[in-house]
Structure 1
Amino acid sequence: MNELLTAASVLLAITGVLYALWHDDIVNAIAKVMPQHKEDRGEFDKNLKSVLWSRAIPLLLATLCIMLVYLPPSIGIIASSFKGYCSLGFENFQNYDPIATSFVLVEVFTSVLAVQSIVYVWKLMSKLRASNR
């Protein structure tokens, strides 16, 4: 379990750094005001596409892949803990494993980044579709 936690933590740290580096670019692209006339939207569209393909989608793929890789063991840990608490009650605290709990917490943080990345991609794509109307 220690190796699994280490690997998951390193991958979360890498995606966290990418998120921190690219967050402002993504948010700024989402916040840009679309030019009123379709003829004036060339640079606007180019910027949105650039941020979408070079920042938002790679971040989404990274966080989603990491989340999906570590989801099965996390569900197993949660299910095992739930069964233990159902059968033993508070006595199950004797079986508490902070490493396993940390692993699940890393999965939760990765999942939050993945969901946020989905939202960013969706907003950028929606803005691009609106720009092309």
Structure 2
Amino acid sequence: MRVEVVKRILIGIIATVIFSFSLAVFTVVPFLNGESNTFGFSLPAYFIIFCIFSGPVFIIAGFICSFIIDTLCTKYLHALIGYIIAGKITAIVILYFNLGGPLPLNADTFSFLVLGILASLLYYHIFIIWRTRFFKRSLSLH
């Protein structure tokens, strides 16, 4: 059990780094091509900011949702749908508490939901890679 906890926390950290770096790259590029009077942070600054905000979500929500989905779903497609739903629910909960009430139906809300889904699918696929890597290693030991 302890190994599962450490594994899922490490997967959350790996997913945080990949997600935050990808988001930072997409955020910095418009400022590099923008006007001279626009303000923007550097790539490392955006990376740190995104890590600070997405890290706890990946580690806590990813950990909890991963345990729930893995106990309920045994097939890839069912788990994939479970992670998509978990990403949407997590994004909705975060938006609800940040906005302090009902969510507006606009492009920003939709974009945040898509980011939640992409984040959960990133976590799931890192989890699959981790599981297949250790599964192959255990096969070679027997």
Q: If the TM-score is normalised by the length of the shorter chain, which range does it land in?
A: 0.3 to 0.5
Give the TM-score taking structure 1 as reference length.
0.36
Higher helix share: 1
**Structure (1 or 2) with the larger CA radius of gyration:** 1
Give the TM-score taking structure 2 as reference length.
0.34
